[in-house]
């Protein structure tokens, strides 16, 4: 980071602050800005590229390239969906697309991070690898004294424990998004949202992709959702291999080979490159947490309670470094709570009961609230409704009926407990379900709400009606 952002403002001129925030990503900035708006003197300590994972190597670059790949795919698919329409698209210069993505990242990094700092006179930004010490933090050869500290150092891609993986120059998600030349073939390791998104994106721009994972695709999603998405990926030509054990990775003359055990037999998959998307590790090694008395999970994440407090008095943590709800908006939310609690007496509780989550595949996956299994485990007498998208007029008109909507409700109270969608425009529909759950609405409330016709979100109303009616017997907009 250039010196343009290295400010030296202090509360008393002696290096003492009301709050020290370690980490200059989305969580760190959220905490620092929240505290600054309350009049606190804040030291914000960054290490590496300002802005953190989301804007630099995660959300922003991946979604930009995913949208480009969608444009290619849908142009080529137009002739199969719409009679009398001929479309065609192909990638002619992937390097140019990556450069455009990089320009977007750089612009947002400045607009949403670096350029914000001068607006907050009570935030002093410093660069340096931080370590907790008695009474504060040391970083970059300086000491920052404070009674309250927030750790928001984020995570990085982690290599799985597979024999040979460290010797084959495996790509992580960051390196995959930086490729300027597309390989002919690729193995994507991991069935979570990152693996699913990357596999489809690269396949759509001409890479022969094999997607490999241990259990099932999107293991935290409803089984119907993951199974449906796996089928749609396979229809696009992606080889989808799940329910297996990894055995070894080896370098070959053509690239890499992955040996797995599946259905009791060993199988080998080969490709030019392999991308690892199997998880992330907390950035905590250099912080001196053990010496400071800050408890960690076996995987290295910082343990926090529902007030964002660690086991060390006065030390809080927020964002991905806690291992909880690794979405940028939840990182910012948790950091805001941490800052308010640190300065105002720990009165606010972290609440993720109505946390929407989105997977930016096509069709998109959106979910909020409890899954059927979670609802049963919580003691609810559960009812579910599953509506395929061929019952949604918007999908019929768009000639794209891939997807389904699953609702989870309590049988006695009829309250909506969870909503799970896989649909081409599912991401923009899930927030309606989130508001319904937050407001304690019943499936009857949802079924009787007025929805605009020929929208994907109208599927929520139809899915609610499906609990007690056959929507195939209704006319358009009926009910």
DSSP character at residue 411:
T
The closest alpha carbon to 47, from 158, 159, 156, belongs to: 156
Helix (H, G, I), strand (E, B) or coil at 132: strand
Q: 172-193 in b/e burial notation, b at 16+ Cβ within 10 A? A: bbeebbebeebbebbbbbbbbb
Full DSSP string of 216-256: -SSTTS-HHHHHHHHHHHHHTT-EEE-S-EEEEEEE-SSSE
- Residue 191 assigned to a binding site: yes
63 is in an annotated binding site: yes
- Residues making up the chain, counted from first to last: 479
Q: Does the annotation flag 196 for ligand binding?
A: yes
Q: DSSP H helical segments within 345-429, as ranges?
A: 372-377, 393-397
Has 314 been labeled as part of a binding site? no
Distance CA 251, CA 2 (A): 40
3-state secondary structure of 166: helix
333: annotated binding-site residue?
A: no
Check: CB of residue 152 under 8 Å from CB of residue 331. Answer: yes
Count CA atoms closer than 13 A to 238's CA, side-chain side. Answer: 30
Residue 340 assigned as binding residue: no
Asked if residue 459 belongs to a known ligand binding site, the reply is: no
193 labeled binding residue: yes
Give phi and psi for 395, each to the nearest 5. -65, -40
Torsion of the alpha carbons at 350, 356, 360 and 366, rounded to the nearest 10: 150
Q: Select from 211, 185, 214 the least CA-distant residue to 198.
A: 211
Query: Distance (Å, rounded) from C-alpha 126 to C-alpha 3?
Result: 9
Determine contact, residues 2/128, Cβ cutoff 8 Å.
Answer: no
Strands 416-423 vs 364-369: parallel, antiparallel or unpaired: antiparallel
Is 243 annotated as contributing to ligand binding? Answer: no
Binding residues, by number, are: 63, 190-197, 279, 320
Detail the residues annotated as belonging to a binding site for FAD: 63, 320
Sequence ranges of the binding site for NAD(+): 190-197, 279
């Amino acid at each position: 980071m250039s010196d343009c952002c290295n400010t030296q403002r202090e509360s008393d001129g002696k290096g003492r602050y009301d709050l020290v925030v370690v980490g200059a990503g989305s969580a760190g900035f959220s905490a620092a800005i929240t505290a600054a708006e309350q009049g606190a003197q804040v030291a914000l300590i960054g290490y590496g590229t300002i802005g953190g994972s989301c804007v630099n190597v995660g959300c922003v670059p991946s979604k930009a390239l995913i949208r480009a790949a969608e444009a290619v795919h849908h142009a080529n698919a137009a002739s199969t969906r719409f009679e009398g329409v001929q479309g065609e698209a192909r990638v002619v210069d992937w390097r140019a697309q990556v450069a455009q993505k990089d320009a977007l990242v750089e612009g947002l990094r400045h607009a949403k991070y670096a350029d914000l700092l001068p607006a907050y006179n009570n935030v002093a930004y410093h660069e340096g690898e931080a370590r907790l010490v008695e009474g504060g933090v040391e970083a970059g050869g300086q000491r920052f004294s404070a009674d309250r500290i927030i750790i928001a150092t984020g995570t990085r891609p982690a290599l799985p424990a597979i024999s040979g993986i460290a010797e084959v120059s495996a790509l992580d998600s960051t390196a995959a998004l930086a490729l300027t030349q597309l390989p002919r073939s690729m193995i994507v390791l991991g069935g979570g949202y990152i693996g699913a998104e990357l596999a489809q994106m690269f396949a759509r721009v001409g890479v022969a992709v094999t997607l490999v994972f241990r259990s099932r695709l999107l293991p935290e999603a409803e089984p119907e959702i993951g199974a449906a998405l796996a089928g749609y990926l396979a229809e696009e030509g992606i080889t989808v291999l799940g329910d297996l054990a990894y055995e070894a990775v080896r370098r070959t003359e053509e690239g890499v080979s992955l040996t797995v055990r599946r259905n009791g037999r060993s199988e080998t998959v080969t490709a030019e490159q392999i991308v690892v998307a199997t998880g992330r590790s907390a950035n905590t090694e250099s912080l001196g947490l053990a010496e400071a008395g800050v408890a960690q999970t076996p995987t290295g994440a910082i343990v926090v309670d529902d007030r964002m407090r660690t086991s060390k008095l006065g030390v809080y943590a927020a964002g991905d470094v806690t291992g909880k709800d690794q979405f940028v908006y939840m990182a910012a939310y948790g950091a805001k709570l941490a800052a308010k609690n640190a300065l105002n007496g720990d009165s606010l509780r972290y609440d993720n009961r109505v946390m929407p989550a989105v997977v930016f595949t096509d069709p998109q996956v959106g979910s909020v609230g409890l899954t059927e299994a979670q609802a049963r485990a919580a003691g609810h007498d559960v009812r579910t409704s599953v509506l395929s998208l061929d019952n949604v007029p918007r999908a019929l008109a768009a000639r794209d009926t891939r997807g389904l909507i699953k609702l989870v409700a309590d049988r006695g109270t009829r309250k909506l407990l969870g909503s799970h969608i896989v649909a081409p425009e599912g991401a923009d529909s899930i927030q309606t379900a989130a508001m319904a759950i937050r407001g304690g609405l019943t499936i009857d409330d949802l079924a009787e709400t007025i929805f605009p016709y020929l929208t994907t979100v109208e599927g929520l109303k139809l899915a609610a009606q499906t609990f007690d009616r056959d929507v195939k017997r209704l006319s358009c907009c009926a009910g």
